Amino acid sequence: METDDPSEIIALLEAHKRVLFERGDEDLRPSHREGPTEKVDDDAAPLSEMSQVIASRRNKERTAKLRAIERAVARVREDPEMYGHCVTCEEPIAPRRLKVVPWAEKCLRCQEGGEEGGGRRSARRHLTDFD
């Protein structure tokens, strides 16, 4: 982050928020349009459903990002000195991380620890698991 001025940080966060609002939600309507007498194309239906799932996930990610930005703005307003510090371990968040993700709440170490379920190995299988 290039500035420590709370008003500049809030302006940056609000700019990110505006971009997300301007982009809007992804269209969730099915791409195939069938009427009451039209037969659904069996080949197009799975693609349409997959497109709907992808759009739904993108909308959820957008909503989560908007909420994270709002929490970051609240943190700056409530305690500007703590902006840029991890909410878990209170260590400073790397400036490069804040430059890319100014709404980051956690340092990279705490973020990775939380997403991996506290260091447990993922149940996901890889091709090398079967050698």
Instruction: Let me know if residue 131 belongs to a domain.
Output: no
Instruction: Let me know if residue 128 belongs to a domain.
Output: no
Query: For 35, phi and psi rounded to 5 degrees?
Result: -95, 180
Instruction: Let me know if residue 111 belongs to a domain.
Output: yes
- Joined together, the tokens standing for residue 31 give 């791409």
Query: For 85, phi and psi rounded to 5 degrees?
Result: -115, 145
- Enclosing domain of residue 48: 6-31+43-119
Indicate the pTM of the whole model: 0.65
Instruction: Let me know if residue 125 belongs to a domain.
Output: no
Rounded distance between C-alpha atoms, residue 29 and residue 31, angstroms: 6
- Joined together, the tokens standing for residue 91 give 């260590």
Name the domain count of the chain: 1
Instruction: Let me know if residue 76 belongs to a domain.
Output: yes
Rounded distance between C-alpha atoms, residue 24 and residue 35, angstroms: 28
pLDDT in tens, 15-58: 999 988 787 776 666 555 555 556 666 676 777 778 777 888 88
pLDDT in tens, 64-113: 999 999 999 999 999 999 899 999 999 999 999 998 999 999 999 998 88
Give the pLDDT confidence score for residue 120 in this predicted structure. 46
> Between 119 and 108, whose confidence is greater?
108
Instruction: Let me know if residue 48 belongs to a domain.
Output: yes
Instruction: Let me know if residue 83 belongs to a domain.
Output: yes
Instruction: Let me know if residue 10 belongs to a domain.
Output: yes
Give the CATH number of the domain where residue 79 resides.
1.20.120.910
Please list, in sequence order, all residues whose beta carbon lies within 8 angstroms of the beta carbon of residue 83, skipping any fewer than 6 positions away.
Answer: 6, 9, 72, 75, 76
